[in-house]
Structure 1
Amino acid sequence: MFHLVSCGYHYVHPGGLAIDRPRGAGNFAFVFFRSKSEVIVEGVRTIVPSGTHILFHPESSHRYAGIEPPFVNDWLHCEGAGMEEWLRDIHYPINQPVKAIDSHLISRCIIELQRISSHGGQLAASILDLELRSLFMKICNSKGGWTLPEGQNHYYGAFVDLRSELHNSPQIRVSVEELAARVNMSKSYFQHVYKQFFGVSVMADIIRGRLEYAQYLLVNSRLSVAEISVICGYDNDTHFMRQFKKFIGVTPRGYRVSSLEKKP
């Protein structure tokens, strides 16, 4: 069974952060970099862009730090008998930077791991084992099974970077026209390519990212609904509340009360 040692979602370090583990972490350390960072693994230095993740081997010397503040990341530590062999069997890259195809997936999985760990219960350990395996398999499945529409391959890197930026900065207010202009496309063709790559329209993707981050803040912070609406990119809290109710099914306050009541 694989065990979750610890995890964190969207940790913001305003003054920057440097982690130095000359003997390794002692367990598998997964880091999703939301900021451009310098990473040194076994003496090899790499600059990784925002939206990159690395799974560090328990015994591998590694160091990482943001290029400039703030440093923002998601992370988890895990361990378990046979874990290294299992990761090798599914061809998971260890100690290698990997550009996230779906940063939203990674954040969603870490939020769920955090929720299950905090709630506890007699089946929590088994559920966490399955969730950890699911995360690593989903990453491998996306990496290995992704096929790009013919003729659009050269756009893919730019679209991944753009999508990571949207997911990592939900407060940014941007139009589809502005996004299309950044990759030198018409609005209609940009929307077509975006859906081809990610299976969802750009606006639906933006809304989903904003609302999932809002859900996290409602449960894990004392920010008011109005403050959360601004952080998540809404012009006013009325629009935020209407959209939240439409897609989540309850009001933001109702979601907060219901979620907090479920906490032990």
Structure 2
Amino acid sequence: MNQIRYIGYDIKHDSKFIFDLPNGHDCWLFLLTHTPANFFVNGRLEEYPAYSAVLFPPNKKIYYSASQSVYENDWIRFDSAEPFVEAFPIQGHPFSPKAPEYCRQIIKLLAWEHAELNEESDQITHHLLSVLFKKLLDQDEENIKIQHQLVQLRKEIYHSPEKEWSVKLMAEKLHISQSYLQAIYREKFNISCMNDVISRRINYAQDQLLNSNLSVNEVAIMAGYQNIEHFHRQFKKITNQTPLQYRQSTSIKT
């Protein structure tokens, strides 16, 4: 059977959030992010996109932190000797589940059940956890491959917003059609690929405006905008402020 020790659903933290346990927990930890986050994997810190899942086994290093202004996730600390947990093929490494919203709803049900603590709770908890882990593996080989490629593509977008991203370029990287890319990207991340590029560019620009002395034009170029007026229009559309207004207003608050 499985026993939940603690569970958190829809938990929010600020940009300073860091969770660092060099020796891990003495139980299992499963988490599902809602926002991009940094994870320490294979000896280095890397940013992974929103809706990344990770299963940390007992007594193994755990490190993850906010990578943007807000960090949100669901998490479960639990004991288990069940094969579907112990033999889970991806441990200690973030991956992208096929149906993250479905998984979130199961975690929500688990949180409710954990709060109830009635005589049927153990059986229901066991059933819900088995469904959760089955859903996490509900991916055929080809889908796993394309899901991994999508995650890698998004990581590249997040790390290099200055590149001249286009639907054509992204589709060519994955060797699929542009229409198919747009469909699976939206299904996977709940945002179109180009809107994701724009969102990342503006987020990057906000960070540079807040934490550097670069001029607005320099920030625009670093964020991937060769047309400065276009940068101003998109920045204001998303933030309701011009870049200069954003820099001045955040300076006043801090």
Q: TM-score range by the shorter chain?
A: 0.5 to 0.7
Cα distance between partner residues in 1 of 2:70 and 2:169:
24
1:101 aligns with 2:98: yes
Superposition RMSD in Å: 3.8
Quote the offset at 1:34 in angstroms: 2.1
Out of 120, 124, 127, the residue aligned to residue 127 of structure 1 is 124
Structure 1: runs of 5+ lacking an equivalent: 163-179, 203-264
Q: Note if 1:70 corresponds to 2:70.
A: yes
Shift of 1:5: 1.3
CA pair 134-102 structure 1, distance change in 2 beyond 3 A: same
Secondary structure, counterpart of 2:137 in structure 1: helix
Query: Are the structure 2 counterparts of residues 159 and 92 from structure 1 closer, same or farther at C-alpha, using a change threshold of 3 Å?
Result: closer
> TM-score, normalization: structure 1?
0.53
TM-score (norm 2): 0.55
1:138 lines up with 2:131 in the alignment:
no
Between the aligned partners of 1:65 and 1:114, the Cα distance in structure 2 is 23
Q: Residue 262 of structure 1 aligns with which residue?
A: none
The Cα of 1:57 is off from its aligned counterpart by 1.0
Contact 2:3 2:122 in 1 (8 A): yes
* Deviation per residue, 1:215-248 (Å, 9 max, x gap): xxxxxxxxxxxxxxxxxxxxxxxxxxxxxxxxxx
Find the aligned partners of 2:105 and 2:27 in 1 and give their Cα distance. 22
Q: How far apart are 1:39 and its partner, in Å?
A: 1.5
Q: 1:25 to 1:129 in 2, by over 3 A?
A: same
Cα offset for 1:190?
6.2
Quick check: 1:25 aligned with 2:25?
yes
Q: Distance in 2 between matches of 1:109 and 1:182?
A: 37
SS of the residue corresponding to residue 72 of structure 1 reads strand
Larger radius of gyration: 2
Matches of 2:96 and 2:9 in 1, distance apart?
Answer: 18
Counterpart amino acid of residue 12 in structure 1? K
For 1:9 and 1:19, locate their aligned partners in 2 and report how far apart those are by CA, in whole Å. 16
State the Cα distance separating 1:192 from its structure 2 match: 9.6
Aligned residues: 173
* Partner in structure 1 of residue 7 of structure 2: 7
Match of 1:87 in 2: 85
Give the superposition deviation at 1:156: 8.1
Distance 1:161 1:10, change over 3 A: farther
Is the Cα–Cα contact under 8 Å of residues 74 and 107 in structure 2 kept in the other structure?
yes
**TM-aligned CA deviation for residue 36 of structure 1:** 2.1
Q: Which residue of the partner structure matches residue 44 of structure 1?
A: 43
Cα distance in 2, alignment partners of residues 92 and 16 from structure 1: 31
Aligned positions of 1:232-247 closer than 5 A:
none
Task: Provide the rounded CA distance (Å) in 2 between the counterparts of 1:156 and 1:97.
Answer: 11
Distance in 1 separating the partners of 2:181 and 2:92:
35
Match for residue 57 of structure 2?
57
Task: Determine the C-alpha separation between the residues in 1 that align with 2:59 and 2:136.
Answer: 22
Matched with 1:244 is none
| Identical aligned residues as a percent | 15
Q: Secondary structure at the match of 1:141?
A: coil
Go from structure 1 to structure 2 and tell me whether the alpha carbon gap of 1:191 and 1:54 turns closer, same or farther (over 3 Å shift).
Answer: closer
C-alpha distance in 2 between matches for 1:29 and 1:118: 18
Q: How far apart in 1 are the matches of 2:108 and 2:135? A: 15
SS in 2 for 1:111: helix
Partner of 1:210: none
Counterpart of 2:236? none
Task: Indicate how the Cα distance of structure 1 residues 22 and 101 shifts in structure 2: closer, same or farther if over 3 A, else same.
Answer: same
Q: Is the 8 A contact 1:31 1:55 kept in 2?
A: yes
Contact 1:9–1:111 under 8 Å retained in 2: yes
CA deviation digits over 1:3-23, x for unaligned, max 9? 111111221113431111111
